[in-house]
Amino acid sequence: MKTAAGIVMLFLMALICSGLAQAQISSFQHIVLIVQENRTPDNLFQGLCLAPYGSPSACGTGANQYNIQSYGFDKKGTKIPLQAVPLSNTHDPGHGHSAFEAMCNPNKETYYPCSVNTALSIAGCTQNENTSLCSFQYVDPNPAVTPSLGSYLYIAQNFGWANVMYQTNQGPSAPAHQFLFGGTSAPSATDDEQATFVAENPSGLGCLAPLNAVYNLIDPATAPKEYNLINSPLGTVCFSHDTLANELENDGNNSGNGNTWRYYAVGTEAAHVSNNIWTAPNWIYDICQPNSGYTKCLGSDWIDNVYLIPSQVLKDSVSPTCDLKNMVWVTPTGQNSDHPSSTGTHVGGPLWVASIINAINGSSCTDTINGVAVPYWQDTAIVVVWDDWGGWYDHVLPQFLSAPNEGQGDYQLGFRVPLLFVSAYTTHIIDSTNQYDFGSVLRFAEHNFGIREGVMGFADARSTTDLTAFYNLSLTPTQFPIPTYGSSVVVDDKLPPDPPDDD
């Protein structure tokens, strides 16, 4: 880990770097959305309140405090202290839609809202564990236990942190990735309007799903129960609706002269096949344009913009490649994911995130703005978000978008997840005022690239915030790297990459 003297040196380096070219930008040229896996603020960021990185005085419910709590309640109202475990732990509580129902523990008469006393979700615990504590855990910030966690805590303590950030969906990762890419997990715009959503991780790969693959849907007529959408005939689960990628390309007005995008995910680059359900563009017909057998995506958008080696983002951010697109989604390999794993090998997440930020921070690549060469760091916003709550306890109860069986509230919003915002124009900000969700991230991209906020009409239209509170472009840009605690972890792993999630 870095010593206190080392941290001081980082800030001295910031002063040394102050001679870089500066231009007053009116918007970011790049937004890098880093998507991590399956954590809540109470679970992953207890270190903000604990030595050696934080202190109890930093946590609470005040405007300038992190809203982190170290205990929870079971459905009987019993207070249960959260138990410390390493990031590499193998506990994996249930986090499907049914697990949301169990943890939300709604009033059985009204099904609205969640109860103060949260029920247990114990799926995934092994026989030799105390299952009553499985969801009531947090990642131990002790450097001897989780050395890399300090990178996340440093970001939260020096850049932007959202105290109230909800995942949009009430369920697991695959639908969540759809909301982060296109604002919905519904098969079509009509389905979205009628609050019909894919609610679970499916048994197929979107447009590449095999015959009879099952997708679980939820709608106001059935909630909280689900029903099956079967991939028969082939292509039934190859969805057609707008996405942020499409709006970026069309510049929000169908001009076709808009912004560029790229989606980094795990797959087989040579075969142009992503073999996991978390690669969001796989689900969209206009992007995938599958072959007649629905075994491969052949669309030019897919081939040009979906990169199946996540570490390529590190190369695209620096010289000589200098190919950072305007809007970038980055998903990790399993080794660099924060998702618990049965083998305990998912430990590289904090270093992975810090490495992407530092690649952009130290890049010599530039964009030309008003005749001035502006370094990537000075015109890039980096957003780090976790795709779902992972079944972990969090004390902030989710807000529903409607009463039960009346619309969007049957599947939205879900539990709280962390959100970090990093840019050269972001001072230390703890936002306790605004409520955020995945739609807020989409609205930020729309706002930044000159597209009307809410233009897709999905989660972006239902959200009421963007992320503009996290930066001030009139500030003089600052520059300093993220400490890479636990740097023995290998980010660009040469082993065959696992998907980001092994559910």
Q: What is the pLDDT of residues 439-455, one digit of tens each?
A: 999 999 999 999 999 99
For residues 125 and 93, is the Cβ–Cβ distance under 8 A?
Answer: yes
The predicted-structure confidence for 143-197, as pLDDT tens digits, reads as follows 999 889 999 999 999 999 999 999 999 999 999 999 999 999 999 999 999 999 9
- Helix ranges restricted to H, 159-280: 173-182, 189-193, 244-250
The H or E element that residue 31 is part of is strand 30-36
Instruction: Please say if the pLDDT value at position 268 is more than 80.
Output: no
Lowest mean pLDDT, pick from 42-56, 88-102, 254-268, 293-307: 254-268
Say if residue 232 is exposed, middle or buried (CB neighbours under 10 Å; 0-12, 13-18, 19+).
exposed
Mean pLDDT score of the chain, rounded to an integer?
Answer: 87
Strand partners, 84: 138
Closest CA to 374 of 366, 385, 384: 366
Instruction: Please say if the pLDDT value at position 119 is more than 60.
Output: no
The predicted-structure confidence for 346-399, as pLDDT tens digits, reads as follows 678 999 999 999 999 999 999 999 899 999 999 999 999 999 999 999 999 998
Whole-structure pTM value: 0.92
For residues 464 and 166, is the Cβ–Cβ distance under 8 A?
Answer: no
- Which pLDDT value is given to residue 254? 59
- Helix ranges restricted to H, 426-483: 438-448, 459-462
Number of other residues whose CB lies within 10 A of the CB of residue 186? 25
| CA–CA dist 176, 201 (Å, integer) | 9
Would you give the DSSP letter of residue 160? E
Instruction: Please say if the pLDDT value at position 231 is more than 50.
Output: yes
Question: Radius of gyration over alpha carbons of the chain, in Å?
Answer: 21
Q: Is 73 left (phi over 0), alpha (psi -120 to 50) or beta?
A: beta
- Which pLDDT value is given to residue 13? 44
The predicted-structure confidence for 333-347, as pLDDT tens digits, reads as follows 888 999 887 666 667
Closest CA to 440 of 458, 423, 425, 426: 458
- Which pLDDT value is given to residue 304? 94
Closest CA to 94 of 192, 14, 159, 173: 173
List phi, psi (to 5°) of 469. Answer: -70, -10
Q: Name the residue with tokens 């529903």.
A: 400
- Which pLDDT value is given to residue 154? 96
pLDDT band at 257 (very low <50, low <70, confident <90, very high): low
For residues 288 and 299, is the Cβ–Cβ distance under 8 A?
Answer: yes
| CA–CA dist 412, 256 (Å, integer) | 32
Grouping H, G, I as helix, E, B as strand and the rest as coil, residue 263 is strand
Domains assigned to the chain: 23-182+240-470 (3.40.720.10)
Strand partners, 188: 240
| CA–CA dist 203, 13 (Å, integer) | 49
Q: Name the residue with tokens 């759809």.
A: 178
The predicted-structure confidence for 387-433, as pLDDT tens digits, reads as follows 999 999 999 999 899 988 889 999 999 999 999 999 999 999 999 99
| CA–CA dist 379, 368 (Å, integer) | 10
pLDDT band at 12 (very low <50, low <70, confident <90, very high): very low
Distance from first CA to last CA of the chain, Å, rounded? 32
Q: What residues contact residue 254 under an 8 Å CB cut-off, 6+ apart?
A: none
Q: Name the residue with tokens 């955020």.
A: 436
